[in-house]
Structure 1
Amino acid sequence: MPLTLNKSREISLLLTGIGLLVAAVYVDHHDNEPVFSPYREGYTGDEINPIDRLGYTARDERAGQFADAGLWGGPTLPLLLSLDPRTRPHYPVVLLLWLQTMLLTFSLSSLIKNTVSRPRPYIYNENWELEQRLTRKDRAAFLSGHAANATAGSVLFASLLATYDHRFARHAKFAAITISCGTAYLRVKAGKHWITDAAAGILLGGGVAGAVINWHKAKPGKPV
């Protein structure tokens, strides 16, 4: 079996994810100060870095809806391994790695969002009412949770197939890149995230999935 489990490590990873999630909720509940647009006297675009200035500030609901497909589709991919006769015997291990990956990704992205509180691009649109108070959803730009979760799920899927030398491993890598980048782009197009938010989401999701897989790979010279 190419993946190994260690009781203390598995418990530690799950508890870490839960702890980060509790911290995210705590930060959110203690952030009660009213917040308004930082540029209530006008927005010229010079306040935003050159990279993010290439993004969009108008809401595109259709792009947002398409991005939701990546949010749910990416994390669902590893669960499909239950349908393959070759990976089905190892499905309990796959399910545990999936739970750890998605819990850590979601809790980390939530904590970062609630701590940074970066305004979303659409509040810089000319149609935004500057006297309107920003809600938590309006201040959740950094980083993109959609991109993070879509990337984490699809990268975990591709990594698992590669670990088990599955014949579709190469195709899964292409799918992971497509889902990750596609979801990130759609969130930017929807006016929900800056380009750097989307890029950070991809890095976080891919980093967590890659780390979880590497932590569970059998080391050379050690019994499997």
Structure 2
Amino acid sequence: MTKRTTHNRQENRPAKTRTPLALVLSLVLLSPAIPRADELSVDLRATGAVTGSATALFIGLELAGSTLTPATCRWCDPPGFDRNARLHLRWGDPSRAATLSDVLLVGIPSSLIAVDYFVLADRDARRFGEDVLVGLEAIAVTAVATDGIKYGVARRRPNAWASGVRKSFGDDNSYLSGHASGTFAAAAAFGTVAMLRDYPGWPLIYAVGLTGAATVSYLRVAADRHWLTDVLSGAALGAGIGLGVPLLLHRKAHEPDGRSATIIVTPVPLGVAGTF
């Protein structure tokens, strides 16, 4: 007990901001090649059904969190890598970092939606609606996946680990970071939608959105709410789903002669049906 108390006193020093720009740049550089103009295909009914179902499932998971989280942590002690990162990245006032991360969690998707309407879609209501629906679909699917992993892993949060006290079931929901996965999903999805639409300046959406998401990830570690591996894993999950939903579900297929062939995914009782 004496050793842990001494260790915690050493960790109370402010840390320098170290946004993981390498992760942002790698995601931008690995983004798919530029397709032909307006490669996005959206079936509003099917996409709305997927988005609504995922959102409802996420709300259910959140409400059942105390039941789904084990009575004690399954992953209680962090590896040395995470302990060292916490020592250098945690702020002297973690609550300030937590507040900033919460603001950006809402601000980043909201800003991307506003830019899509006023700048990218040029206030075209239908195009804007399709863009936002695809973005929300990616965010909702990411949220469900994040909660499923959190409850299954049941990792102790760094602040609860340091105090040695679990105050609520949420103290064992550290892995992985929902703030990181959500903001990376939003940035990747809206950037990919802009690319498929061939909007002018679409790389800027990737750059700004992913930089903002990386900042949120850093702030969650600074706030002592997540370990570094929590936010790195959340970023990977969110970026993967954010890229995959538009590219795999909403990118137009093409016939050998170059004509586009829209793929429509329709929910049916035993699965989904594709119409070409």
Q: TM-score range by the shorter chain?
A: 0.7 to 0.9
Which consecutive unaligned segments of at least 5 residues does structure 1 have?
A: 40-46
Contact 2:180/2:235 (8 A) holds in 1: yes
| Highest RCO, 1 vs 2 (Cα 8 Å, sep ≥ 6) | 1
Instruction: Identify the residue that residue 135 of structure 2 maps to in structure 1.
Output: 98
1:82 to 113, 117, 136: 117
Deviation sequence 1:89-140 (CA, Å, 0-9, x none): 2012112212212211222212222222211011232xx2x3x444122111
1:3 to 40, 53, 67: 40
Instruction: Identify the residue that residue 162 of structure 1 maps to in structure 2.
Output: 195
Which consecutive unaligned segments of at least 5 residues does structure 2 have?
A: 1-37, 263-276
User: 1:92–1:140: structure 2 CA closer, same or farther, 3 Å change rule?
Assistant: same
In structure 2, distance between residues paired with 1:208 and 1:37: 26
1:64 to 98, 112, 118: 98
RMSD: 2.8
* Percent of matched pairs sharing the same residue: 22
Q: 1:192 deviation in Å? A: 0.6
Q: 1:17 deviation in Å? A: 1.4
Q: 1:199 deviation in Å? A: 0.6
Is 1:196 aligned to residue 226 of structure 2? Answer: no
In structure 2, distance between residues paired with 1:29 and 1:113: 12
In structure 1, distance between residues paired with 2:64 and 2:167: 16
Deviation sequence 1:18-49 (CA, Å, 0-9, x none): 4742662475243476448987xxxxxxx422
**Mean Cα displacement is larger for which, 168-177 or 16-25?**
16-25
SS of residue paired to 1:30: helix
Instruction: Identify the residue that residue 21 of structure 2 maps to in structure 1.
Output: none
Deviation sequence 1:153-202 (CA, Å, 0-9, x none): 12222222222222322222221231121111111111110111001110
**Structure with higher strand content:** 2
1:53 to 83, 89, 97: 83
User: 1:133–1:69: structure 2 CA closer, same or farther, 3 Å change rule?
Assistant: closer
How many corresponding residue pairs?
Answer: 213
Return the TM-score normalized by structure 2.
Answer: 0.67
Contact 1:24/1:114 (8 A) holds in 2: no
Contact 1:27/1:111 (8 A) holds in 2: no
In structure 2, distance between residues paired with 1:194 and 1:209: 23
Return the TM-score normalized by structure 1.
Answer: 0.80
Is 1:73 aligned to residue 131 of structure 2? Answer: no
In structure 2, distance between residues paired with 1:100 and 1:32: 25
Q: 1:146 deviation in Å? A: 0.6
In structure 1, distance between residues paired with 2:167 and 2:68: 12
Instruction: Identify the residue that residue 181 of structure 2 maps to in structure 1.
Output: 148
User: 1:36–1:173: structure 2 CA closer, same or farther, 3 Å change rule?
Assistant: closer
SS of residue paired to 1:2: coil
1:138 to 171, 180, 202: 171
Instruction: Identify the residue that residue 44 of structure 1 maps to in structure 2.
Output: none
2:252 to 198, 204, 218: 218
In structure 1, distance between residues paired with 2:181 and 2:74: 26
Contact 1:148/1:201 (8 A) holds in 2: yes
Contact 1:158/1:172 (8 A) holds in 2: yes
